Amino acid sequence: MARRNRSGACRRRNVKKEKEDLRTQSLQSRQNTHEVELRKLLNWLLPSQGIFSRLLPHGNTSWQFRTLVFQALCWSWAENRNAVDSFKYGFKWCQTLSGAKVLSTYQGMMNALERWTAPLMEILWKILHQQMKHIGGEFWDTGGWVPIAFDGSRDSAPRTESNEAAYCAPNHGHGKTAKYRRKKTKGMRRTMNEKNKAAAPKPQLWITLMWHMGLRLPWTWRLGPSNASERADVMEMLKHEDFPKNTLFCGDAGFVGHPLWSAIISSGHHFLVRVGANVSLLTECGNALLKENMTVLSWPQASMRADKPPLRLRLVKVRVGKTWMWLLTDVLREEQLSLKMIRQLYQQRWGIELEFRGLKQTLDNAKLRCRTAARAKVELHWSLLAMAVAELFALKEQLRPSMSQFRPAWPPPDNATDPSRRSLAATIFQIRWSLTHLSETPARREDSLPWKLHEAKTDNYHRSSSKTARYRPPNPDKKPLGDPKIKPLNQLQKQKLRKQKPHNLTG
């Protein structure tokens, strides 16, 4: 009898132990699902609702701004042809990830985003900047400079009355380029072919993007109609945005002009831009010979008549790749910005062109889906932010592997990759895979989202053939950039320059 009781107690203990083991395994599996890993990344980006405390929603609002941001990101990450279909997937994903009240209708979400996108972007840009500086490490600056590139591009929108009224240029066909084309073809393009009449202009949104060159991440942006001025957008961002100390702005030949350069210098920052025959400069030397490293003045007639001081700048000629080009900077001392550093920085600037390609091809945003002007702008805002957040998540895992939950098995710090090897396509693929398999548990650590983001890199191969064989249609409107125009100071300009106080000479 006593033996039977002991065996029964032993069986009960074994059954209880098995149940505890199953409960522990179930808990561990839930802790390692894609849902948990994605939630950790989103909580790292937005740890609390208090970030949006200064935003005051309507009293009847039942959702939170943090949840609205998560839902907009999931909507932008969804890979669907129609915006409503993307909303359905984004709603389901956000409901699982947040566990809070989620806007249940497409119209409700879009109405909320129309109202709150602008104030939310101001807050989210600052959060991105803080996290970028926190994880950037050695890639935050280059040679003591925080390099930020700026450039512009266009994104197409559906041809609706709302989009055409908001984004089409009212002077389409009457600009300098159109006049140049008519002059080159002598009016034969359309007048001789009435059956093939010119189509109405497409509605397009203009994107002016600022992009951190070291971390290869979007910094901030402005959106406008197709005829917006990228230089005016940059000057507006300089006025309203905060930039780190020792910021060096880098731009192509489209960002020229005394007003823009003066605005950058007045804001306490510096610039490096490419120049050509579209720029006229002055030299204090007696001749107008171009030198590969010389000091010049930017002093247009309007500034001279207003007794404003000139900008003293440095003009250098460097070879980037196979091309010789002229670059202009306000950093006069070569020990602060050497020719080697100038070449390296301008080579890094090319990454912003790849960023636009990633937005249009990898995220499939070459043409927006929303059919009203306000919602098309909202869609483009959140597409840019979704791309920036995805790249930030990948950068976090690649540059700071010790922050991962797999510390013992994670690659050592010396395997941290250069941001230039980060692959946007692989990053977006892994995030979309995790969103569509939220309840699944990775079979191996190497299949987890942090590990996959760490390995989201481009192929490390050496090209064996030239790219010159690839077809590239000729652009009849693209002219050679040429050399900048240099003129010596005349007597009147020399007199005005002598009247300027030494500390008034900017540069």
Same domain, 87 and 24: yes
CB 430 within 8 A of CB 24: no
Same domain, 286 and 396: no
Same domain, 71 and 215: no
Q: How far apart are alpha carbons 357 and 153 in whole angstroms?
A: 10
Same domain, 152 and 263: yes
Distance of CA 402 to the CA centre of its chain: 26
Percent of the chain predicted with pLDDT > 70? 82
Note down the domain range covering 87. Answer: 8-126+382-454
pTM, rounded to two decimals: 0.86
CB 286 within 8 A of CB 341: no
Helix, strand or coil for residue 324?
Answer: strand
Residue 224, in any domain of the structure: yes
Residue 427, in any domain of the structure: yes
CB 195 within 8 A of CB 358: no
In this prediction, residue 196 carries a pLDDT of 62
CB 66 within 8 A of CB 52: yes
Ranges 233-247, 255-269, 287-301, 305-319: which has the least confidence: 287-301
Instruction: Tell me how many domains the chain contains.
Output: 2
Q: Which of 99-103, 149-153, 281-285: highest mean pLDDT?
A: 149-153
Same domain, 419 and 313: no
Q: What confidence tens digit (pLDDT) does each residue in 447-489 have? A: 899 999 999 998 877 777 776 656 667 776 677 888 999 999 9
**In 208-240, which positions are buried (b, 16+ CB within 10 angstroms) versus exposed (e)?**
bbbbbbbbbbbbbbbbbbbebebbebbbebbee
In this prediction, residue 322 carries a pLDDT of 84
Same domain, 386 and 494: no
Residue 368, in any domain of the structure: no
Higher pLDDT, 18 or 263: 263
Helix, strand or coil for residue 299?
Answer: coil
In this prediction, residue 100 carries a pLDDT of 85
Burial of 480 (0-12, 13-18, 19+ CB in 10 A): exposed
Phi and psi torsions of 86, nearest 5°: -65, -35
CB 163 within 8 A of CB 372: yes
Q: What confidence tens digit (pLDDT) does each residue in 257-274 have? A: 999 999 999 999 999 999
Positive or negative, the Cα torsion across 120, 126, 132, 134? Answer: negative
Residue 218, in any domain of the structure: yes
CB 283 within 8 A of CB 486: yes
Residue 188, in any domain of the structure: no
CB 285 within 8 A of CB 488: yes
Residue 369, in any domain of the structure: no
Same domain, 82 and 208: no
Burial of 124 (0-12, 13-18, 19+ CB in 10 A): buried
Higher pLDDT, 370 or 24: 370
Q: Which of 3-7, 153-157, 418-422: highest mean pLDDT?
A: 153-157
Higher pLDDT, 504 or 368: 368
Report the candidate in 221, 498, 447, 201 with the shortest Cα–Cα distance to residue 352.
221
Q: How far apart are alpha carbons 63 and 68 in whole angstroms?
A: 7
Percent of the chain predicted with pLDDT > 90? 63
Residue 371, in any domain of the structure: no
Q: How far apart are alpha carbons 265 and 131 in whole angstroms?
A: 27
Same domain, 397 and 324: no
Q: What mean pLDDT comes out for the span 178-192?
A: 58
Residue 472, in any domain of the structure: no
When the pLDDT of each residue in the chain is averaged and rounded to a whole number, the result is 86
Q: How far apart are alpha carbons 448 and 470 in whole angstroms?
A: 38
Ranges 98-107, 427-436, 476-485: which has the least confidence: 476-485
Strand (E) or helix (H) holding 431: helix 424-436
Same domain, 122 and 149: no
In this prediction, residue 90 carries a pLDDT of 95
Q: What is the DSSP letter of 359?
A: I
The β-bridge partners of 317 are 326
CB 339 within 8 A of CB 293: yes
Higher pLDDT, 406 or 335: 335
Q: What confidence tens digit (pLDDT) does each residue in 363-408 have? A: 999 999 999 999 999 999 999 999 999 999 999 999 865 444 444 4
CB 255 within 8 A of CB 150: yes
Same domain, 439 and 486: no
Q: How far apart are alpha carbons 324 and 144 in whole angstroms?
A: 25
Q: Does position 89 have pLDDT exceeding 50, yes or no?
A: yes
Ramachandran area for residue 173 (φ above 0: left; ψ -120 to 50: alpha; else beta): left
Which band of pLDDT confidence, cut at 50, 70 and 90, is reported for residue 6?
Answer: low
